[in-house]
Chains A and B, each alone.
Chain A
Amino acid sequence: MVTVSKKICMVGDFGVGKTSLIRRFVEREFSDRYLSTVGVKISRKVVPLPPMDDVDELKLLIWDLEGQTKFKAITPTYLQGSSGVLIVADVTRPETIDHIEDHLQLFFGVNPAGWVAIALNKTDLLDSDERTHVQTSLELNRPQILGPYLTSAKTGDNVDAIFTELAKEMLA
């Protein structure tokens, strides 16, 4: 049994659903209550890998960082040693999507060779027209960037997919 461990971080403005995405991915649960994260919370999820891989399973250590505001910059030290990052924005709050660029720069500043997946979360709150609009209005044609994925922590849409895709790239 070969296990490889990787650290990934959740980055994004406050209240976009970082903690909710982890909760959905790890515990298969969702709650409407909003408990803002203070500091860091670490979760672990073992992701089984397809049998042809020489690694049997991937142990993801997911660092849930507290959301950024204008006044509180993220601590770059938390991003150190992180093979990947999941940048989350809230589709109902356009400014959180505008901030994706800042988060990208911050992460690549610390880990130039790291991988990024972008989650546009809370898509359950949009109707299908709005969804297509969000998807096309974002241009992120850079290497090492996956997505954007339209996710919903509430319904579970694309949640497993975004984590596993990111995991696969980090192992490759």
Chain B
Amino acid sequence: MPVSPDDSTAPALSQHSALSTVDQSPQGNDFALGELFQFLTEKDVRPQVHAVAPAVAPTRNDVKSALTTDEAGERLRQLLLDLLDIEAQQASANPEDSAGEQVWQLRLRQLERQCRDPRVMGQVIFPIFAVLLQKKIAQSPEEIIPALALIIDRVIETRSQSDRTALSKVLATTIPGAISKQLGEAPNEVIQAIAPAMGKAITEQVRLDRDAMVDALYPVIGNTISKYMGEVVSQINERVEKTLSLKGIMRRLSLRWQGISDAEQILRDAIPFRVQAVFLIHKNSGLVIADVQQSGSQALEADMLAGMLTAIRSFAAECSTDSRHQSELTKIDYEDFQIIMEVAGYCYIAAVTQGDPPGNFSIKLRQTLSSIILNHGYGGLLEQFDGDMRRVPDSIPQLLTELLVAPTVLEKPKVRRRSLPVGLLVLLMLLGIPLGWVYYRHWQKQQVILAVDEAMAANPALALYAIRPRIQGGTLILTGKVPSPDLREEAGMVALEVAPDLVLANELLTVVAPPDPEAIAAEAQRLTQSFGQMLGAMLTSRYDRANQQLIVEGGAIAPERINPLAESLRQIPGVQSVLLTLSGDPSPTAQRLYFNPNSTIIAPQEQTQKLEPLVAYLQANPNIRLQIIGHTDTSGTEKINRQLAPQRAQVVKDALVQLGINGDRLMVAGTIAPPPQVTESDALWLSRCVRFEVLN
């Protein structure tokens, strides 16, 4: 590949600096954290908050129900009367005089009356209420509790309305203790209660003091976070770049000017993703440690490419103005190709790809590089690589080959489930921060998205289009564009199969793209038939839509003569492969001789390729007699055609006789109907022929 710094380092070179670690690119991560948490909280948390609330406290409506209030009032009144009784008894225990006793009695009765008027009673009791209550509580708490229980929530509510701070102050001292006690006794309950609000809480905390949050978490899950963040940020960048970049807009505009529709553009963009070659390159020297390439395609000059890439990377690093961030060149666009790089300490992987890389390709790249480093990096092999290929173990090219063969199939998520999130969960629980599950949830979603991605990629009809799954709450949302409603439905079904627990929101847009199956089939048929005309053979093609395959059928033609057809058929957008099913060894009697319009002259190639073999065949089989049938196309008048048809047969008979065949063995006939297997809709030349039928 002729990459030279003169032309590829300048504007053509697109550089994505790696926003990968938390402390290096604060803005990016801020954005990402916010987005992530918002994503977590938006849909799935709010409904649960409502769902949990009733279990914690009865709502106002319950408290205010008339029945309960009356009952409570009655009970309270009883209680107070009891209290007063006690007071009375104590007072009367003082034996002073009976007159005093009468006054007491009177007062008591008065009081009793007043007791029925709550307002009066309130006034009376208020000053001593606290004392009374204390006494009663000391005496028989069990009685107080049910009475108070009925109104306690109301009390708190009222109090909190009138003086929130005071109440907060009182409660503040007890709540942490209460929670930690409850955590010990029934941890699940607490977690369930807090969980729904967790995401929101974190969002808020991030908003208030992001740095503190990051600092608190970094020692434990720094790497994990930064990886997630990097991913999210790059996804966002990508999206923003694609939709908003000046380049993108210009591209759209220019396409409009050129008269290419959006729909066509989608197809162009949707070149199936393919990895052409993968190189493991020593970072400093640019020497190739290992390289694997697709067989069949033209091999890339690994050494030169690796050298140039390394030089370009050095150049880019040198040019990056900000010395604090060590920016890495991770992608180079070159004509139809993209070179995607994943960089580690001493080496980097460069994958030469075509088509839009699916999101999980970068993950796969990273997995591959990680396993290379884990398996071979520590012995110094990578660091001290000195160009000696004997030291490179076979397992390295083997790992790279995986990227060629299955560029998007990730290692089984199950393995990771055990190793990563549960470990995280445990750690975080130990720390008393039940944050783990937030990440776990995010991680789970990510897994589902990956699985959907993979399923789409595995479906031949869908793999072509950029279908983006995303999860919000319990809903799986598909966005993107496909060329037909059928495909839209199919995508929905594929997604549901992978994630049956989720509700599907199929937001795929159907854009009618020009190469619909009919158009492809028609185009292919045109091409095939005109090609057949060139070769003087009848060829037809069918389009197998499910496999995006064109099937070409017809008489025997040498591979080197038919290959150009296969090549040009493959160029038709929407055609994945071409299958040639040409009949093996045709009998010379099965051949048809084709004529120019209105002509009865046998073309020279028809003479040499068809008539001469036929003569040889007839001479070898002296018992065979032939019916020679002339046909015409439907153009021209019927009268002329009726003459033309037998004339063509006669011309062929004469030719055969001249070549030494006895005329008695040859019968002549003509018809204006098309020959068998040719219909009105086929090309006209197919009907302008002479064919043979073997008699007896």
Contact = CB atoms under 8 A, between A and B. Distances in A.
Interface of A: 2-7, 38-42, 44, 55, 59, 61, 63, 75, 77-78, 80-83
Contacts of B287: 5-7, 61, 81
A69 to B, nearest CB: 17
A125 to B, nearest CB: 29
B9 interface: yes
Given A75-B318, A80-B285, A81-B284, A5 B389 contact: yes
B303 A40 contact: no
A80 to B, nearest CB: 4
7 contacts: A6-B386, A41-B4, A42-B311, A75-B318, A77-B317, A81-B284, A83-B285
Contact of A63 (B6, B307, B318): B307
A98 to B, nearest CB: 26
Among B311, B317, B390, find the residue whose CB has the most chain A CB atoms closer than 10 A: B311
Given A4-B387, A42-B311, A61-B286, A77 B304 contact: no
B69 interface: no
B559 to A, nearest CB: 34
A93 B60 CA distance: 98
A81 B318 contact: no
A76 B581 CA distance: 60
B5 A38 contact: yes
Given A7-B287, A61-B303, 18 more contacts: A3-B389, A4-B388, A5-B287, A5-B288, A5-B389, A6-B387, A7-B387, A39-B6, A40-B308, A41-B4, A42-B307, A44-B303, A59-B387, A61-B287, A77-B317, A77-B318, A81-B285, A81-B287
Contacts of B288: 5
Contact of B304 (A44, A55, A80, A82): A44
B578 to A, nearest CB: 37
Contact of A5 (B6, B283, B303): B303
B282 interface: yes
Contacts of B387: 4-7, 59, 83
B315 interface: yes
B282 A81 contact: yes
Interface in B316-345: 317-318
Contacts of A59: 303, 387
B5 A40 contact: yes
A80 B311 CA distance: 10
B350 to A, nearest CB: 15
Given A7-B286, A7-B287, A63-B307, A77 B4 contact: no
B596 interface: no
A32 to B, nearest CB: 22
A6 B387 CA distance: 6
A44 to B, nearest CB: 5
Contacts, number: 72
B201 to A, nearest CB: 47
A78 B314 contact: yes
A59 B387 CA distance: 9
A112 to B, nearest CB: 14
Contacts of A41: 4-5
Contact of A7 (B4, B285, B314): B285
B318 A4 contact: no
Interface string B296-313: 000000011001100100
Contact of B311 (A39, A44, A55): A39
Contacts of A80: 284-285, 314
A56 B471 CA distance: 58
A75 B6 contact: no
Interface string B377-400: 000000000111110000000000
Contact of B389 (A2, A44, A77): A2
Interface in B1-56: 4-6, 9
Among B282, B285, B308, B388, find the residue whose CB has the most chain A CB atoms closer than 10 A: B285
A81 B314 contact: no
Q: Which 5 A-B pairs have the closest CB atoms?
A: A81-B285, A81-B284, A39-B5, A5-B387, A42-B307
Nearest to B284: A81
Contacts of A38: 5-6
Contact of B315 (A2, A3, A4, A39): A39
B314 A75 contact: yes
Contacts of A5: 287-288, 303, 387, 389
Given A42-B308, A42-B311, A75-B318, A2 B284 contact: no
A73 to B, nearest CB: 11
Contacts of B388: 4, 55
A170 to B, nearest CB: 9
Among A4, A5, A83, find the residue whose CB has the most chain B CB atoms closer than 10 A: A5
Interface string B255-295: 00000000000000000000000000011111110000000
Contact of A78 (B282, B311, B389, B390): B311
Nearest to B6: A38
A39 B319 CA distance: 13
Contacts of A40: 5, 308, 311, 315
B481 to A, nearest CB: 40
A81 B286 contact: yes
A39 B5 CA distance: 6
A89 B314 CA distance: 25
B504 to A, nearest CB: 51
Nearest to A1: B389
A63 B315 CA distance: 14
Contacts of B386: 4, 6, 83
A75 B313 CA distance: 12
Among A2, A3, A38, A40, find the residue whose CB has the most chain B CB atoms closer than 10 A: A40
A80 B314 CA distance: 10
Given A7-B285, A7-B286, A63 B304 contact: no
Nearest to A8: B285
Contacts of B284: 80-81
A115 to B, nearest CB: 13
Contacts of A81: 282-287
B389 A4 contact: yes
Nearest to A78: B314
A3 B288 CA distance: 12
A2 B286 contact: no
Contact of B307 (A3, A39, A61, A83): A61
A62 to B, nearest CB: 9
Contacts of B317: 77
B307 A77 contact: no
Contacts of B311: 39-40, 42, 63, 78
Interface in B573-600: none
A66 to B, nearest CB: 9
A59 B306 CA distance: 14
Interface string B177-221: 000000000000000000000000000000000000000000000
